[in-house]
């Protein structure tokens, strides 16, 4: 099984801080994704990447950026955290180029912005 590890389970940050959420997968999967999960809104795609140094915007990219310098690592960056970014953030990985592939999720990072 692919293991997707998110480095922080819980974070508390202040408004205006720069926040890094790290995600590492250990099975050489090409595709990586960042979603945020909010009650009643499901999982919304923030950014995704199909290859090293490649990134694509999802449905809600505003206020976020990403970095994929190595195949196994996909970082989500909040340049200046705001209270409306308080949420659960889920990283996921899948194999293959495009197409219909199973997402394996990390355990999530719950971010609170005060």
58 counts as binding other proteins under rule CB under 8 A:
yes
When binding is defined by CB under 8 A, the residue of 24, 29, 108, 113 that contacts other proteins is 108
Q: Which two tokens stand for residue 42?
A: 């499901």
When binding is defined by CB under 8 A, the residue of 48, 64, 74, 89 that contacts other proteins is 48
Q: What phi and psi, each to the nearest 5 degrees, are found at residue 106?
A: -80, 175
Pick between residue 81 and residue 87 the one whose CB is nearest to other proteins. 87
Q: Taking a C-beta distance cutoff of 8 angstroms, is the pair 89, 74 a contact?
A: no
The region of 10-18, 63-71, 77-85, 103-111 touching other proteins under the rule CB under 8 A is: 103-111
Residue 2, CA distances (Å) to 57, 82, 92, 109 in order = 24, 32, 10, 18
10 counts as binding other proteins under rule CB under 8 A:
no
Q: Taking a C-beta distance cutoff of 8 angstroms, is the pair 49, 74 a contact?
A: yes
Binding site for other proteins (CB under 8 A): 33, 35, 40-45, 48, 50, 56, 58-59, 90, 98-100, 102-103, 105-108
């Amino acid at each position: 099984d692919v293991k997707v590890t998110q480095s922080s389970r819980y974070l508390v940050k202040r408004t205006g801080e720069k926040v890094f959420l790290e995600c590492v997968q250990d099975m050489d999967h090409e595709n990586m994704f960042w979603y945020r999960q909010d009650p009643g809104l499901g999982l919304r795609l923030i950014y995704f990447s199909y290859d090293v140094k490649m990134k694509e915007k999802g449905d809600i990219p505003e206020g976020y950026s990403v970095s994929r310098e190595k195949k196994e690592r996909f970082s989500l960056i909040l340049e200046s955290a705001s209270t409306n970014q308080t949420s659960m953030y889920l990283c996921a990985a899948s194999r293959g180029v495009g197409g219909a592939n199973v997402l394996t999720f990390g355990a999530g990072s719950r971010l609170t912005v005060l």
